[in-house]
Structure 1
Amino acid sequence: MNIAILGCGTMGTAYAHNLAKMPGVTVTGVVDLNAERAEQAAALTGAKGYTDVDSLLEQKDLETVAVCLPTYLHKPFVLRLAEKGLHVICEKPAALTLEDAQEMKAACEKHGVRLFIGHVVRFFPNYQDAYRKAHSGHIGTPKMAHFKRYGSYPQGMDLWYNDPGKSGGVIMDLMIHDIDFACWLFGEVESVYASIVKRAEPEMEYAQLTLHFKNSSIASLTGYWGYPGPFTTQFEISGDQGIIRFDSNQVQSLDIKRVSAEAGDGAAVQVPASPSLHDPYYKEVLHFIECIRDGSEPLVSIKDACYAVQIAQAAEQSAQTGQPVTIGGTVS
């Protein structure tokens, strides 16, 4: 598989590290407007560095492109790559609006190429373990969940993160991870209610979402840009027979407490993170590449990615109006 990387910032560099050691994969080019960043990524992969996309697209043997650009640039470049007959692995979110994401999906289908969106949380062992436990009867039927995701305010990104018209803000950029996971866990959303608190000095953006699902489940999501501590993710999934908890700041990976049929039996089962040679980003990209090779369906589909954008958009609308937003229909 010959693949190129478009954008050599934080995520582009992560892709470069992983693709460089992936068997059967050759990085044939890396592109960034910043020549220094392009050269650094080129050094990691042994590929040629470019500062313009046109030069990269002259390569005759290119098959796939990893799009690691700012969110507002996803649509125009994905459309262009699709027209060139190239498969695309694009970082999340797919786009800033559902309409743009659907246009990307339609263009790739028209030109017969695959489009994958990097919702990497589905590839994190702790989240995968929790999903399997929640759907295998360990806690009965999952009914409620609470997800938290805290991190420092993005810095050094040419300030595009500071413009919600380019990044989508904390909901679209950060919380979309947990939106996607919650939808994977519970299914279709019936309504969303959201509120956001922003501060300029020091920079902070804090959001709370409540998702009501069509199966009567409820999920509460919290996202925080500007958190003064280490990057933190937490979740709690409650069923009618127990609860699953995870806190990235704890040593243990999962804590499952089950309701026992016998009084006084309150056993806790701890499930550690699976030992792994490669990080979740490696597993995610390798999975997408394997889907291209054998035509199989991915763990996270472009339909899933479009749906996550739809829910994030609805949450933004709710935060602006102060009213819950009903989700109509399903994403095709």
Structure 2
Amino acid sequence: MKVAVLGCGGLGHVHARIYAGMEEVSLTAVCDIDAGRADRLAEELGVAAYADFRDMLEEAEFDVISIAVPSWLHHAYAVQAARAGKHVICEKPIALTAEDARDMIDVCEANGVRLFIGHVVRFFPDYVHLKQTLDNGAIGKPGVAHASRKGGHPAATHPWYADEAKSGGVIVDLMIHDLDFLRWSFGEVARVYGMVRNEELLEYALVTLEFESGAVANVEAYWGYPGQFQTKAELAGSGGIVQTSSLDSSSVRVHRRESASENGPFVAIPGSPSFHSPYELELKHFIACIRGEAEPAVTAQDALRALEIALAAKQSSQTGHPVQLAPAAQGYHGGDHR
């Protein structure tokens, strides 16, 4: 299978190098409006370089396009690629508006191509372990979750992040990772309440999710945090807690309620640190899905729903009122591209 990469920045480099190392994939071309950046990556990997996406569509041979460009460009390039008959793997968020996201889904379906969105947290071993621990009943009935994701402001080096019309802001760009993970873990979200503080090179958001199951989650995202980038997540149920922190070397811990056979209130069971790149796991999975060898671990519909939750949180932060989400069964019913 032949693959091309659009965008030769940080994640574009990641995608291209992963594809170049895949035995079942042939990376044929890279593209970036910064011709020098495209040339350097192309020379490193021994592929063709383009500065114009239309030229790459017309001249390069590829079946799949990986889109790793700024968020506000996702819709336009995904639609162009789909109409050219290319399968689309796109970084999150799927788009900046629900309308654009639905259009991407519809155009891909109409042109018989697959659409995958890079909600990579679903491929982080620690987060997979959290979900598995919840699913196997180790912590009982889920009740409360906490998640946080914080780091420096990306606008310090990439100014477009400061323009909410291009990045979507800290909720749509950063918090959406945890919004998707929590929906994956706890089910559909019924109501959202959000607060945002936004100053120069500082944007902090605190969002409360109420799930249809009755569970509740508090989610933090912080651009402009003065310390190192870090993530934390904790799922609590009727029988215990499972938690992970990127600051711990062995980061998944399960704490169960005291039983007659235990000497203390909690027993810690550390998980294994991740040894494989989640991006590699993700891209290999998407390629396997395109080949018909696997079912998607995360669908375009999941990405749309995560965006809808993020947009509801933004709306709540602007109005000061909770936002009720339409039940998933009453929502959008575009194809799932299987």
Q: Is contact 2:285-2:294 (8 Å) kept?
A: no
Q: Is contact 1:96-1:168 (8 Å) kept?
A: yes
Structure 2 residue 267 is the aligned partner of structure 1 residue 272:
no
- Give the match for residue 221 of structure 1: 219
- Give the match for residue 166 of structure 2: 166
Q: Which stretch of structure 1 is more off in the superposition, 78-87 or 59-68?
A: 59-68
- Give the match for residue 85 of structure 2: 85
Secondary structure of 1:234's match?
Answer: strand
Which aligned segments of 4 or more residues in structure 1 are displaced greater than 6 angstroms?
A: none
Q: Which stretch of structure 1 is more off in the superposition, 295-304 or 91-100?
A: 295-304
Superposition RMSD in Å: 1.4
Residue identity matched to 2:269: Q
Q: 1:308 aligns with which of 293, 306, 309?
A: 306
Task: Report how far residue 112 of structure 1 moved.
Answer: 0.4
CA distance in 1, matches of 2:36, 2:60: 25
Q: Is contact 1:16-1:44 (8 Å) kept?
A: no
Q: Deviations over 1:228-251 (max 9, x none)?
A: 111100011101000112111112
Q: Which runs of 5+ in 1 are unaligned?
A: none
Q: Is contact 1:20-1:44 (8 Å) kept?
A: no
Q: Deviations over 1:263-320 (max 9, x none)?
A: 74445232333553x3000100010000000164210001100000100010010000
Residue identity matched to 1:198: N
Residue identity matched to 2:73: L
Residue identity matched to 2:194: A
Q: Deviations over 1:160-219 (max 9, x none)?
A: 11100010000000000000000000111110000000111xx10000000000000111
Superposed, 1:239-278 pairs within 5 Å as 239-262=237-260, 264-274=263-273, 276=275, 278=276
Secondary structure of 1:132's match?
Answer: helix
- Give the match for residue 13 of structure 1: 13
- Give the match for residue 317 of structure 1: 315
Residue identity matched to 1:326: Q
Q: Is contact 2:250-2:273 (8 Å) kept?
A: no
Q: Which runs of 5+ in 2 are unaligned?
A: 334-338
Secondary structure of 1:208's match?
Answer: strand
Q: Is contact 1:245-1:256 (8 Å) kept?
A: yes
- Give the match for residue 182 of structure 1: 182
Superposed, 1:53-92 pairs within 5 Å as 53-59=53-59, 61-92=61-92
Secondary structure of 2:39's match?
Answer: helix
Task: Report how far residue 99 of structure 1 moved.
Answer: 1.2
- Give the match for residue 192 of structure 2: 192
TM-score when scaled to structure 1?
Answer: 0.96
Structure 2 residue 146 is the aligned partner of structure 1 residue 146:
yes
Q: Deviations over 1:107-157 (max 9, x none)?
A: 000000000000000000000001000111111111110000001000465
Q: Is contact 1:135-1:141 (8 Å) kept?
A: no
Number of equivalences: 329
1:21 to 1:310, Cα distance in 2 relative to 1, 3 A: same
1:165 to 1:60, Cα distance in 2 relative to 1, 3 A: closer
TM-score when scaled to structure 2?
Answer: 0.94
- Give the match for residue 126 of structure 1: 126
Residue identity matched to 1:37: R
Q: Is contact 1:19-1:45 (8 Å) kept?
A: no
Secondary structure of 1:183's match?
Answer: helix
Q: Is contact 2:124-2:274 (8 Å) kept?
A: no
- Give the match for residue 296 of structure 2: 298
- Give the match for residue 205 of structure 2: 207
Quote the sequence identity (%). Answer: 43
Secondary structure of 2:59's match?
Answer: coil
Q: Is contact 1:148-1:222 (8 Å) kept?
A: yes
CA distance in 1, matches of 2:59, 2:66: 15
1:295 to 1:76, Cα distance in 2 relative to 1, 3 A: farther
- Give the match for residue 41 of structure 1: 41
CA distance in 1, matches of 2:140, 2:245: 21
CA distance in 2, matches of 1:151, 1:60: 38
CA distance in 1, matches of 2:46, 2:215: 49
